Structure 1
Amino acid sequence: MAAVGLLYVGIVLFVNGVMLLGHVTPRGAAPLNLFVGALQCVTPTYLIIQADGDPTAISAAAGLYLFGFTYLWVGINGITGWPGTGLGWFSLTVAVSAIGFALHSWTVLEDRAFAVIWLLWSVLWFTFFLLLGLDREQLGPMVGVLAAGEGILTAGVPAFLLIGGWWEDSTTLALAIAAFGLALILASVPLGRRLAAASPPPSPHASPAHS
């Protein structure tokens, strides 16, 4: 069930990345954010109830709320036009929490690949903080590329592999994800300049890419 939710996280991250590049309006991206945000709140609740007190299962599900709340907030801001400052500062708490989940994934769950994925999510959510919390509007295209790319790298592809039964954690896989993630971060600035719309939709601060 978590793998299915991860698939839609990949989709919403990609769409929100396109939004930050100026090709989709915040209002246009709002419904998908609301749908996925609701899913990412219902899913961990179900998994925690089914865990029957198992701390390992509960910890694996708990982090999903970080994303569920983010996407719901993005969707609400996209519809209402409310400022994204609060969402930006919330994104900072997500970025810090993601580091903790990365350490937990590596040391407790012994899942090296998802430890790297959590770290990449931490970087992405920190850029949301810079964009929204600190009002660095000029970072919008770069964050858009990063969000869209991470939607594919850290969510879409892993979800398909998990659903198909082809996912197998290994140090090699973790290193490969880290290498692609670093390349994406380095390429996000020049790609953002090339891919940004000539006349972007108003106020990306109404909702970040996000996740």
Structure 2
Amino acid sequence: MSSVGLLYVGAVLFMNGLMLIGLVPGKSAAILNFFVGAMQVVFPTIILIQSNNDLAIIFGAAGLYLFGFTYLYVGIIQMTGISGEGLGWFSIFVAACAVVIGILQFTLVGDPVFGVIWLTWAVLWFLFFLLLGLGRDSLTFTTGWFTIFVAHITGTIPAFFLLTGRYETNDGYAVLVAIAAAAALGAAFFLGRRGIPRGKASQENQAVAPA
């Protein structure tokens, strides 16, 4: 994933996390979902057209569609008010693909940091599946807080390392990212149990939607 694309993944994850915990109205969050979703569909399409059947380039672009379609789906749900079950079941497909891509980052690409990042995304999208596909509403705040934390752990921070040419990958850094992700999940469950008062933004959300 490019550094620019990753930065905006962080932005939309952050926005959707705020939406899930009731601080941003769904229709307001939908706009950024449409912008980033379109970017994550148009850019990989251009990359694939110019790839000359290079498998490495195709592999790098293929995963972007998983994000792009998710964000566009979220935007449509929030603007139309349709139910989120379809997105929930799509999320389990995304989670499974993220596990495979994460393993390939370790074994094929040799990038353990992004291996951990992809596995973290797999956990996040699995929570979306539980929340939307299976209707586990009790996970709403937990998923929202984890989305906010993951936005920065897997999006904003690594994006700035890439943009400044300071990105490095090795087993030690991968362990640090894994510890941060595990701590974020624990904190999300803690904060999710406490919840926050539901305000106007929460009431306006027609359907709980993921990153």
The answer, yes or no, to whether TM exceeds 0.5 is: yes
Q: CA RMSD in A?
A: 1.5
TM-score (norm 1): 0.95
Distance 1:207 1:170, change over 3 A: same
Distance 1:143 1:158 in 2: 21
Shift of 1:29: 0.5
Aligned to 1:166: 166
Instruction: Report deviation, 1:197.
Output: 3.5
**Aligned match of 1:133:** 133
User: Which residue is 2:122 aligned to?
Assistant: 122
Could you say which residue in structure 1 is the equivalent of 2:74? 74
Q: Percent identity?
A: 47
Shift of 1:198: 3.4
Partner of 2:203: 202
Q: Is the 8 A contact 2:27 2:205 kept in 1?
A: no
Task: Map residues 1-211 of structure 1 onto 2, 5 A cutoff.
Answer: 2-194=2-194, 196-199=196-199, 201-202=202-203, 206-210=207-211
Q: TM-score, normalising length from structure 2? A: 0.95
Residue type of the alignment partner of 1:11 = A
Aligned length: 210
Structure 2 residue ranges without an equivalent (≥5): none
- What per-residue deviation string (whole Å, max 9, x for no partner) do you get for residues 141-189 of structure 1? 0000010100000011111111111101111110100000001111111
Q: 1:28 deviation in Å?
A: 1.3
Structure 1 stretches of 5 or more lacking a match? none
Counterparts of 1:207 and 1:2 in 2: how far apart (Å)? Answer: 28
Give the distance between the partners of 2:101 and 2:175, measured in 1 at CA. Answer: 18
Return the alpha-carbon distance in structure 1 between the equivalents of residues 87 and 60 of structure 2. 24
CA distance in 2, matches of 1:163, 1:67: 20
Deviation at 1:51, TM superposition (A): 2.1
Amino acid at match of 1:179: I
CA drift of 1:53 comes to 1.2
Q: Is 47-56 or 114-123 further displaced after alignment? A: 47-56
Please give the secondary structure, in 1, of the residue aligned with 2:103: helix
